[in-house]
């Protein structure tokens, strides 16, 4: 696909979203790949203009272009509109949440050499939202696990391992207790694993997995987990390598992909030009990889690493005094 002119949907989001999205766009533009950005709106701004946080136009744009780069969007707690992120994920069936966790020079972490990629199932498990009250004093939530969803997340994880030369996939689970649901999850992952004999496969109970990740995260390579465990383990892994400000992510389906940072809209620091755009710039690098621009993705990664390890132009969250603009400029210069 490399070499084609292509359109990418850009959702700036709100809070620090427009600042970090602008930074990521600037870095990608500096590569001169001839991308065209199609800006689309979501969140509070969209409610004012369209009466909904996730206008049909925005979804149509992603469907048409198949790829989007998205800044964070504020989700009001309690009342107000439903989560834009969940809305996008559901509408486009983005069933795989992929989160790399890699140590980077210059970022405070007590580990070195961590290079993990987490594949979290993104559509079911306890997050299917099948809940109800039983009378007034009890509530029940149904944990839905299907063979189809478990197989396709496993397929993504193993295919990624094969294509990137990784050696091992580990499934995290609680099948010792959740015998039917996680039992089915493991059965599906094993079926997929059988098609990848060159990749080692093992299974670790999720509580032991948490412990082993904290003791020595370099022990692991690719992790595949059902939704809830995947959510928790991926934040844990972000913490192992330096926190939210530097954690990129991707939401992949069969027909579309949305790349976004793990962090939120950080309203307290919005508009001050001090947000760290690293996570979204690295998410844009994941997008480049997805589009087949592997060398360019590596250049972005190296430029970000160079600026962070030099330490001169880093933002306050990383202990520096530079602005978002300064950091971005330095990354562009290092490309």
**Active-site residue set:** 127, 174, 207, 231
Residues 6 or more apart whose CB falls under 8 angstroms from that of 34 comprise 5, 6
Residue 251 binds ligand NAI, judged by CB under 6 A: no
Residue 122 binds ligand NAI, judged by CB under 6 A: no
Q: Which residue has the tokens 């950091």?
A: 327
One residue of 38, 146, 317, 325 binding ligand NAI per CB under 6 A: 317
Are 300 and 10 spatial neighbours (Cβ–Cβ below 8 Å)?
no
One residue of 18, 55, 239, 264 binding ligand NAI per CB under 6 A: 264
179 vs 312 by CB, closer to ligand NAI: 312
Rounded least distance, CB 85 to ligand NAI, Å: 5
Residues 6 or more apart whose CB falls under 8 angstroms from that of 138 comprise none
Binding mask 193-232 for ligand NAI (x = CB under 6 A): ----------------------------------------
Q: Which residue has the tokens 């970022």?
A: 107
Instruction: Name the phi and psi angles at 48, rounded to 5.
Output: -60, -40
Query: How far is the C-alpha of 12 from the C-alpha of 23, rounded, in Å?
Result: 10
Instruction: For residue 81, give the DSSP letter.
Output: P
Angle at 24 between CA 22 and CA 26, to 5 degrees: 70
Rounded least distance, CB 218 to ligand NAI, Å: 26
Half-sphere exposure of 270 (CA within 13 A, CB side): 17
Q: Binding to ligand NAI (CB under 6 A): which residues in 43-72?
A: 72
Residue 325 binds ligand NAI, judged by CB under 6 A: no
Stretch that binds ligand NAI, among 24-32, 89-97, 135-143, 258-266 (CB under 6 A): 258-266
Q: Binding to ligand NAI (CB under 6 A): which residues in 270-309?
A: 275-276, 279
Half-sphere exposure of 107 (CA within 13 A, CB side): 28
Rounded least distance, CB 10 to ligand NAI, Å: 14
Query: How far is the C-alpha of 318 from the C-alpha of 308, rounded, in Å?
Result: 9
One residue of 73, 114, 118, 206 binding ligand NAI per CB under 6 A: 73
Rounded least distance, CB 278 to ligand NAI, Å: 7
192 vs 318 by CB, closer to ligand NAI: 318
The structure tokens listed for 200 are 């080692």
Query: How far is the C-alpha of 2 from the C-alpha of 24, rounded, in Å?
Result: 19
73 vs 206 by CB, closer to ligand NAI: 73
Strand partners, 117: 100, 222
Stretch that binds ligand NAI, among 44-52, 161-169, 263-271, 327-335 (CB under 6 A): 263-271
Residue 79 binds ligand NAI, judged by CB under 6 A: no
Residue 184 binds ligand NAI, judged by CB under 6 A: no
**According to the 3-state scheme, what is the secondary structure of 262-283?**
CCCCCHHHCCCCCCCCHHHHHH
Rounded least distance, CB 167 to ligand NAI, Å: 31
What is the contact surface with ligand NAI in residues (CB under 6 A)? 16, 20, 72-75, 85, 244-245, 260, 263-266, 268-269, 275-276, 279, 317
């Amino acid at each position: 696909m490399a070499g084609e002119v292509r359109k990418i949907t850009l959702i700036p989001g709100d809070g620090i979203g427009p600042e970090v999205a602008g930074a990521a766009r600037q870095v990608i533009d500096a590569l001169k790949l001839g991308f065209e950005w199609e800006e689309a709106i979501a969140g509070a701004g969209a409610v004012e203009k369209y009466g909904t946080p996730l206008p049909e136009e925005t979804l149509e744009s992603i469907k048409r272009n198949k790829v989007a780069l998205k800044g964070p969007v504020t989700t009001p707690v309690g009342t107000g509109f439903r989560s834009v992120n969940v809305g996008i994920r559901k509408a486009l069936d983005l069933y795989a949440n992929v989160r790399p966790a890699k140590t980077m020079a210059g970022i405070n972490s007590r580990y070195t050499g961590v290079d993990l990629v987490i594949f979290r199932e993104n559509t079911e498990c306890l997050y299917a939202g099948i809940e109800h009250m039983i009378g007034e004093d009890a509530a029940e939530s149904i944990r839905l696990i299907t063979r189809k969803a478990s197989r396709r997340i496993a397929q993504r994880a193993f295919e990624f391992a094969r294509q990137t030369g990784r050696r091992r996939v580990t499934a995290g689970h609680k099948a010792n207790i959740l015998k039917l649901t996680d039992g089915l999850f493991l059965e599906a992952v094993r079926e997929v694993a059988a098609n990848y004999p060159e990749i080692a496969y093992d299974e670790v109970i999720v509580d032991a997995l948490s412990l082993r990740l904290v003791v020595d995260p370099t022990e692991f390579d690719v992790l595949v987990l059902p939704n809830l465990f995947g959510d928790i383990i991926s934040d844990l892994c972000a913490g192992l390598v330096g926190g939210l400000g530097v954690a990129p992510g991707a939401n992949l389906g069969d027909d579309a992909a949305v790349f976004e940072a793990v962090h939120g809209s950080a309203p307290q620091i919005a508009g001050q030009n001090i947000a760290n755009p690293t996570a979204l710039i690295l998410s844009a690098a994941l997008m480049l990889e997805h589009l087949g621009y592997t060398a360019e993705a590596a250049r972005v990664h190296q430029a970000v690493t160079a600026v962070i390890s030099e330490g001169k132009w880093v933002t306050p969250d990383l202990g520096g005094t530079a602005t978002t603009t300064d950091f971005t400029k330095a990354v562009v210069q290092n490309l």
